[in-house]
Structure 1
Amino acid sequence: MSWSTKTMGKFTLSYRPFTLEMRHVFTVASFSRTTTPVVLIQLTFDGITGYGEASMPPYLGETQESVIAFLNKVDLSLFDSPFQTEEILSYIDAIALKNTAAKAAIDIALHDLLGKLMGQPFFKIWGLNPNNIPPTSYTIGIDTKEMIHKKVKEAEAFKILKVKLGLDTDKMIIDTIRSVTDVPLCADVNQGWKNKEEALEMTHWLAEKNVVFLEQPMPKEQIDDMAWLTERSPIPTIADEGCQRYNDILSLQGAYSGINIKLMKCTGMREAKKMAELARALNMKVMLGCMTETSCAISAAAQLAPLVDWADLDGALLIGNDIFDGMHVKNGMCVLPDRPGIGIIAKQ
């Protein structure tokens, strides 16, 4: 599909919808899918273009149509320079409630543009050392024994695997993986457990299976049950659906051991960095996650990765039609290209 373009003073914004095709059917506790809708954007200033992306998995409640409607409300003619970053992104955030993926697309493109104007990758602009990036996990969705075997074999280069749980097949999935590999695991339940006593029993069983942390084990509304579970769990608990943005973090202290930051939830790189710094100040663990995304949004998130305890940046590896070259994974480790901005090159 062709690009739609609008000029706003010194800025030009272009966008087009795109559909990501999954390498395997992707199943979590609440749904399965084979594609993910995204909207790709380009933000140009003074002949330099930054790339951005909005990815819309079902639970965010955004669509390609809602993202495009949001982008059509944006008027950057109010600003003379992309270096008015705080003002621009505060303006973008105030246009409408929610629409966090649409806002993230603008934020990512703006950071890419700024880095290109400065001639530096953003991890260098932020003074971060890419050698401090933890190994990224690779996600194994809920599946049959045969497909789990296949997926684990495909992921043999990874030093940690992320396992989707939350149905009555949880123990089968873990045991199947353990019949193939003994690498550390992290488990993402996607709010699938409802009973705190049963959840606690599972945390002890998972700890014995070398599961190093547990992501969103219970519904985000059951905050008291989560606090009860976190206090007793032998492994850390991480808020994902329960932690969307910066202002959520203070209320989660004590209820979870840490938070999972995703650009599509929190409106992009600017807020993600602030969230990581606040969580650290509160002595909470920090995980950096992703949706199913191209290497555009993945490479943007990776600029922050030296700040976190755990990285889950495999989104572009789960699709078969990535149209960017950017951060890549070598032997389970994230390798950031030394290119300006977020470090990507468009393949088409």
Structure 2
Amino acid sequence: MISIEIKPYLLHKKHVFRIAAGARTNTPILLIKLKYDYFEGYGEASMPPLYGENIVSATQFINTFDFSRFSSPLEIEAINNALNQHAEGNPAIKAAIDIALHDLIGKMKNMPLYEYFNLPKKELKTSKTIGIDTAEIIKQRVLEAAEFHFLKIKLGGHNDAEIINAVRSVSDKPLFIDANQGWTNKEEARDKIEWLKQEGAVFIEQPMPKIAFNDMEWLAAHSTLPLIGDEGIQKLEDVKTASNFYHGINIKLMKSAGLQEAFAMANLAKSLNLKIMLGCMSETSCAIAAASHLGAMADWIDLDGNLGVTNDPFQAHQIINGHIQLNDTNGIGLVNPDWNKIENYE
């Protein structure tokens, strides 16, 4: 029988984090522990306010789901189907359960998850995200990210040029650009993309609002850089039509409801010749570790959500010289997790 424990948690940012849609200093998290036999599996739901989930909704979802119907974590496909039937939406808490189930399965099968997914073990070159801020603070953040090979730069506000100029005054590294739906005019977006190409941008993530279908279709045909769908790509169904608007997709476990759907999304994207970016929210090392096991499927990695927080309760894969080093710990790769030492908040 599978049993579950939950802990509400507030993940604190090292710095105020600003994007085109707003700013925050913390992120509500619901941590979960599944127990089966003598195995324990860990998962998390990261719930930035913009996405509609919260501690109350996630707790209610958990408390009203009947795990007793299932005899083993190996029934993960049936469990995930039941989760989807239990309530629409709620991708983050579904992801938490899916991650914990995969952690259990890896431990039961005595293997790390990359092996479970039949993927090679690779060093993953992740980017480091720089939020919207003043020029001086941006320069400081870029210099602090010296070990990383790529910088992910948040744009979409009124000071895009100022931000890029600040970055380029201290670094010539390749840039991942994320506008977070902040550009609203397709011609201006096209011109910005051409300018950013000259500034060393590799791709543009979600340049325009996710519902601006006609504008995104036009921009995809006129862009000189790959366009990557983030807010516009949530789950497997979205990938089927993604090539109408984007050249690639950003897969995040908190959007896809976990590893099972993320793995399917990546396989479908490859079959459609779409580029794959593996991304994250502000998360603990639990969710980051889980996502890292799919890294071999991605063209670009942006798994730094645990690096910008002050109270990560877990340890997992190390980052050395900007590379995520997958460990061989069974399951998702947490190192000696201690549930009892994690202090919850109400």
* The two structures share one fold, judged by TM-score above 0.5: yes
Aligned partner (choices 331, 338, 343) of residue 321 of structure 2? 331
1:42 alignment partner in structure 2: 33
1:54-203 matches, within 5 Å, as 54-131=45-122, 133-203=123-193
* Kept after mapping to 1: 8 A contact 2:124/2:325: no
For 1:252 and 1:83, how far apart are their aligned partners in 2? 32
1:26 alignment partner in structure 2: 17
TM-superposed CA distance for 1:336, in Å, is 1.0
1:297 alignment partner in structure 2: 287
TM-superposed CA distance for 1:226, in Å, is 0.7
Deviations 1:58-110 (A, max 9, x none): 22100011100000111111111111111111111211010000100000000
Give runs of ≥4 in structure 1 deviating > 6 Å.
Answer: none
Structure 1 gap ranges (5+): 1-9
Aligned partner (choices 299, 317, 342) of residue 332 of structure 2? 342
1:227-238 matches, within 5 Å, as 227-238=217-228
For 1:229 and 1:134, how far apart are their aligned partners in 2? 30
TM-score normalised by the chain length of structure 1 = 0.96
Q: Are residue 244 (structure 1) and residue 234 (structure 2) matched? A: yes
Matched residue type, 1:110: L
Aligned partner (choices 248, 257, 260) of residue 250 of structure 2? 260
TM-superposed CA distance for 1:254, in Å, is 2.5
Matched residue type, 2:313: I
Matched residue type, 2:234: Q
For 1:100 and 1:263, how far apart are their aligned partners in 2? 8
1:12 alignment partner in structure 2: 3
1:308 alignment partner in structure 2: 298
For 2:256 and 2:22, how far apart are their aligned partners in 1? 22
What's the secondary structure of 2:149's corresponding residue? Answer: coil
Deviations 1:94-132 (A, max 9, x none): 11010000100000000001101111101011121122x
For 2:79 and 2:17, how far apart are their aligned partners in 1? 36
* Alignment root-mean-square deviation, CA: 0.9
* Kept after mapping to 2: 8 A contact 1:287/1:309: yes
For 1:12 and 1:221, how far apart are their aligned partners in 2? 40
State the identity as a percent: 48
Matched residue type, 1:30: A
1:278 alignment partner in structure 2: 268
What's the secondary structure of 1:97's corresponding residue? Answer: coil
What's the secondary structure of 1:338's corresponding residue? Answer: coil
* Kept after mapping to 2: 8 A contact 1:52/1:105: yes
Structure 2 gap ranges (5+): 342-346
* Kept after mapping to 2: 8 A contact 1:134/1:309: no
Deviations 1:41-62 (A, max 9, x none): 0000001100000000122100
Deviations 1:220-245 (A, max 9, x none): 01111111111111110000000000
Matched residue type, 1:257: H
Matched residue type, 1:64: I
TM-superposed CA distance for 1:134, in Å, is 4.2
TM-score normalised by the chain length of structure 2 = 0.96
For 2:286 and 2:197, how far apart are their aligned partners in 1? 35
The alignment covers a number of residue pairs equal to 338
TM-superposed CA distance for 1:171, in Å, is 0.8
Aligned partner (choices 41, 44, 47) of residue 53 of structure 1? 44
For 2:314 and 2:327, how far apart are their aligned partners in 1? 12
* Kept after mapping to 2: 8 A contact 1:134/1:308: no
